[in-house]
Amino acid sequence: MCNYNTQSISFKYSYILFIGICYLYEHNATIIAEQEKQVVDMELKDFLECLNSGKLIKGESDTHLFMHNLSQEALKITAKINNRYHKPKKLRKLFSNLLGKPVDESITLFPPFYTDCGKNITIGKNVFINMGCKFQDQGGIFIKSGTLIGHNVVLATLNHSMSPKARSAMIPKPIHIGENVWIGSNATILPGVTIGNGAIVAAGAVVTKDVPENTIVGGVPAKMIRHLSEDEKENTV
């Protein structure tokens, strides 16, 4: 009898524990589903319009939640891009899926490539993106034709609030890169920067201000080094 009662009590406790786990699982699943519903209720078009307006994005707002949901899609696609070899045509197809729009056949991308959004990148023709680049494009990244982007370049378009009490809030600002720009390895371009046509950003530079066309900048923070000479601008070699 003692063995039977002990086994019976043990079974009852196991059953209660099982019911409790099931309840917690269903409860958490309901919370997650409600959060996902909040995110899905916003359309991508509305999300991009909000970001491109430059308005502050409050933490835990619908826009913030949509941003996190969108990042999961970007992480899945970048994992496909980065974790095996793809022929150029297949790679451009994956890159197009990441951006949510077709990219020109003249674009060259060398993985690995990283982004936590992807849907606010606009790229012209004959653009080259070397290995290890990181594009934080929520605020908008616009790259015109003929631009070369070196290894490990970071393009960042989000700032956080200066207030410690609202630090999770974000302020989007776009990056505009002109035609035939050359950005050297390990350079960082910060939110709101415009780089003019034909400019050169030296390796390792941190660009905090606009770069005039046909100039060379370098350093931390980046400063003007010189203008391109007339011969340099006209030389085709």
* Residue positions annotated with a catalytic role: 160
Rounded Cα distance, 83 and 203, in Å: 27
Beta bridge partners of 149: 129, 183
Rounded Cα distance, 214 and 95, in Å: 30
Q: Is 54 left (phi over 0), alpha (psi -120 to 50) or beta?
A: left
Which amino acid is it at 223? K
Q: What are phi and psi of 224, to 5 degrees?
A: -60, 130
Contacts of 96 (CB under 8 A, 6+ apart): 102, 103
